[in-house]
Chains A and B, each alone.
Chain A
């Protein structure tokens, strides 16, 4: 008879350390690129935040699809490890989406003159952020680990499916509202080739850090789950 789970190793594996290490290095390089990138024509130096803004949004959505994948995997296989990883992904969603929202507001204030703009992507991100706040409140509310995992998986799946629909609804909502629109897309299409390296390096750095964090948090979660199982 197979036992519930393998005993986790007590040491971090090399890959996790390598990901965290190269991620940190890449982030330092990215900082150099970002801080030396030329000022944007109309927005000046404020524009530099966009590199990190876009990158953390990208990683946030990556984490959302990771959460979706692990949630589906949990429902199919019922392995607690998948549930733990889904929760880790959700934490990273909150982290990176939270960063994205704050950066968005910091960027919006000097460029648009307001802290918040009902821009489709920002709104969709805020909705997704709210979904995952609910995700953790739900996890905290359920004691039975299996029921908690199942319910959380359902929320993870529904939350991500919601993204494209929210996006479409907000886009159409904006287009019919006829309010003066500040669109990030226009900024992106005018992307100066000179700025591309900075963006790509930041993107790579945050992705590496994300993978490293995910493995590290997964390792910690496995440790504490094991402690709990043996009654420590």
Chain B
């Protein structure tokens, strides 16, 4: 049995039912350190549900998810407090993990993703919110990165930045990316998991 690299997240016989419909059924999934996994499949096949199950936001109907890694989720669309500025959103995200926000670091990261930190998120476009979400993950720096269609709404330059961040993230942990864009993901992912029509 393979022991290294260590498994960050492990799901066994994972199933989730909403009402009568099984969205995910009997899925085994494992994420090791230093790995980028692509989740592919058409709309409504349960990619988002799987990410939320892995994140621990949804309780599985059957099966289990185990792992002790710190998890970061980039939701689609990403959620922020509209009446707080980009800077404030990031600062509070750190504060609520009992970390003291370093304003200089926040500004540096915001500059890197090219965002006006002082403006309320209310005024951001959807691409800008994606960038802010990426900035937040960089600040929190989780071990497991779960990205739900991160490339959507991003321009070419934004995608480049995203690729760069993902390559950085895999050094310290594992990344799962749910996406439709096969062309974009093939060069980034080490492994592909196709949902729907045979797992």
Interfacial residues, chain A to chain B (CB-CB below 8 A): 1, 4, 143-146, 228-229, 231
Contacts and interface: CB of A to CB of B under 8 A. Distances in A.
Contact of B20 (A1, A146, A228): A228
A143 B19 contact: yes
A1 B19 contact: no
A144 B61 contact: no
10 closest A-B pairs by CB: A1-B13, A231-B20, A144-B18, A1-B62, A228-B20, A146-B59, A4-B62, A143-B19, A145-B19, A229-B20
Contacts of B20: 228-229, 231
Interface of B: 13, 18-20, 26, 59, 61-62
A196 B20 CA distance: 53
A4 B19 contact: no
A231 B21 CA distance: 10
A231 B26 CA distance: 20
A5 to B, nearest CB: 11
B28 to A, nearest CB: 12
Contacts of A143: 19
Contacts of A145: 19
Contacts of A146: 59, 61
A99 to B, nearest CB: 35
A231 B13 CA distance: 23
B81 to A, nearest CB: 25
Given A144-B18, A146-B61, 10 more contacts: A1-B13, A1-B62, A4-B61, A4-B62, A143-B19, A144-B19, A145-B19, A146-B59, A229-B20, A231-B20
Nearest to A78: B59
Contacts of B26: 1
B48 to A, nearest CB: 16
Contacts of A231: 20
A229 B19 CA distance: 9
14 contacts: A1-B13, A1-B26, A1-B62, A4-B61, A4-B62, A143-B19, A144-B18, A144-B19, A145-B19, A146-B59, A146-B61, A228-B20, A229-B20, A231-B20
A144 B61 CA distance: 12
B20 to A, nearest CB: 6
Nearest to A144: B18
A3 to B, nearest CB: 8
